[in-house]
């Protein structure tokens, strides 16, 4: 067992490049004088690595935000588009995540899972009647909930591969086998990173407890918990966890419906999948 410690985890993320498609898009859009601001912002918002690196920077005490922000759009309004664009370019200059890693973890499928979970999580937050900024937190929480896995795949591929294989073979929750091979699971890693990035308490809590719905009460966490199960149920991408967790009773109360009926009510979600696919494979 390798036992990944906090410092190492944080150092890995510092070195972590972004996803191939967004790196290409950011470079392409930044060399086009006529590119629209919203296109550039959209690319950044769909890449977990670019999103966290920008939020981490803008939330630091040097830029005077009284409350920590979780929205790239808000960062644009605060400091100006060009600075955000150049922060994204700096991330792009670090290279791109390997599509083929030693963990045999498909990063396209991972991103598809993250993006669909994000979009569904925002839909659920809207359905719950949360405020517009909480709904946008719902998207960010979904986008980042499995971030730890991307770090494991890039920097601890052998250990992560063992965790993936055992989870698949024995149909065990991935967070359980990660603990065995890495000494830390992706929810715990996500919590450490979210705190390091100064994400808001509900967001950090949602990422930390997206596999432990029994802990505390957090509507944002419930949104990503449910969105995560829905995305897995519909096979939108794949983030390596074969287990679909049932809704606990309080979750059924929260949404007024169990998973299957909630799915019915949300209607055809393939538009969500197609939009994410267009971004990932484009």
Which one of residues 80, 246, 248, 256 is an interface residue with other proteins (CB under 8 A)? 80
**Nearest approach, Cβ of residue 53 and other proteins (Å):** 11
Please report whether residue 196 would count as binding other proteins according to CB under 8 A: no
Among 27, 77, 170, 261, binds other proteins (CB under 8 A): 77
Q: Is 68 one of the binding residues for other proteins (CB under 8 A)?
A: no
30 touches other proteins (CB under 8 A): no
d(CA 80, CA 150): 29
**Dist CA 9 CA 192 (whole Å):** 9
Binding footprint of other proteins, residue count (CB under 8 A): 28
At 247, is the secondary structure helix, strand, or coil? coil
First to last CA, the chain: 39
The answer to whether the beta carbons of residues 89 and 26 sit under 8 Å apart is yes
Confirm or reject binding of residue 90 to other proteins (CB under 8 A): yes
Q: Which member of 12, 30, 68, 73 binds other proteins (CB under 8 A)? A: 73
Residues from 151 through 170 that contact other proteins (CB under 8 A)? none
Instruction: Tell the smallest beta-carbon distance from residue 128 to other proteins (Å).
Output: 17
Q: Interface with other proteins by CB under 8 A: which range of 62-70, 162-170, 222-230, 271-279?
A: 62-70
Q: Rounded to the nearest whole angstrom, what is the least distance from the CB of residue 251 to other proteins in the complex?
A: 27
DSSP conformation letters of 164-233:
HHHHHHHT--HHHHHHHHHSS-HHHHHHHHHHHTT--HHHHHHHHTTT-TTSS--HHHHHHHHHHHHHHH
- Report the SS3 class of residue 246: coil
Return the number of the residue (176 or 198) whose C-beta is nearest other proteins: 198
Alpha-carbon span 255 to 233, nearest angstrom? 17
As a whole number of angstroms, the distance between CA 51 and CA 42 comes to: 10
DSSP H helices, 80-145, are: 81-92, 107-127, 132-144
**Which of 8, 10, 12, 81 is in the footprint of other proteins by CB under 8 A?**
81
Alpha-carbon distance 102 to 99, whole Å?
A: 10
The Cα 8–Cα 30 span in angstroms is 32
Q: Is 79 in the site for other proteins (CB under 8 A)?
A: yes
Site for other proteins contains 15 (CB under 8 A): no
Contacting other proteins within 116-145 (CB under 8 A)? 132-133, 136
Residue closer to other proteins by CB (options 14, 249) is: 14
Q: Interacting stretch for other proteins, rule CB under 8 A, among 81-89, 141-149, 237-245, 260-268?
A: 81-89
Q: Can you give the binding site for other proteins, defined by CB under 8 A?
A: 36-38, 41, 57-58, 61-64, 66, 71, 73-74, 76-83, 86-87, 90, 132-133, 136
């Amino acid at each position: 067992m390798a036992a990944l410690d906090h410092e190492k985890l944080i150092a890995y993320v510092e070195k972590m490049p972004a996803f191939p498609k967004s790196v290409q898009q950011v470079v392409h859009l930044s060399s086009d004088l006529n590119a629209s601001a919203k296109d550039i912002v959209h690319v950044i918002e769909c890449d977990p690595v670019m999103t966290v690196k920008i939020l981490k920077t803008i939330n630091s005490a040097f830029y005077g935000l009284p409350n920590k922000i979780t929205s790239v759009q808000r960062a644009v309004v605060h400091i100006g588009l060009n600075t955000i664009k150049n922060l994204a370019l700096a991330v792009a200059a670090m290279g791109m995540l390997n599509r083929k890693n030693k963990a045999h973890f498909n990063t396209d499928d991972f991103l598809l899972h993250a993006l669909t979970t994000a979009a569904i999580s925002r839909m659920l937050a809207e359905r719950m009647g949360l405020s517009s900024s909480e709904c946008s937190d719902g998207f960010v929480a979904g986008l980042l909930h499995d971030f730890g896995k991307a770090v494991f795949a890039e920097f601890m591929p052998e250990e992560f591969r063992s965790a993936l294989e055992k989870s698949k073979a024995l149909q065990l929750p991935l967070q359980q086998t990660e603990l065995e091979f890495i000494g830390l699971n992706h929810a715990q890693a996500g919590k450490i990173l979210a705190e390091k990035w100064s994400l808001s308490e509900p967001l950090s809590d949602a990422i930390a407890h997206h596999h432990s719905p029994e802990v505390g009460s957090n509507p944002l966490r419930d949104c990503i918990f449910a969105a995560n199960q829905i995305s897995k149920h519909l096979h939108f991408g794949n983030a390596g966890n074969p287990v679909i967790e049932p809704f606990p009773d309080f979750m059924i109360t929260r949404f007024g419906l169990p998973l299957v009926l909630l799915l019915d009510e949300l209607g055809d979600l393939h538009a969500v999948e197609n939009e994410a696919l267009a971004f990932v494979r484009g």
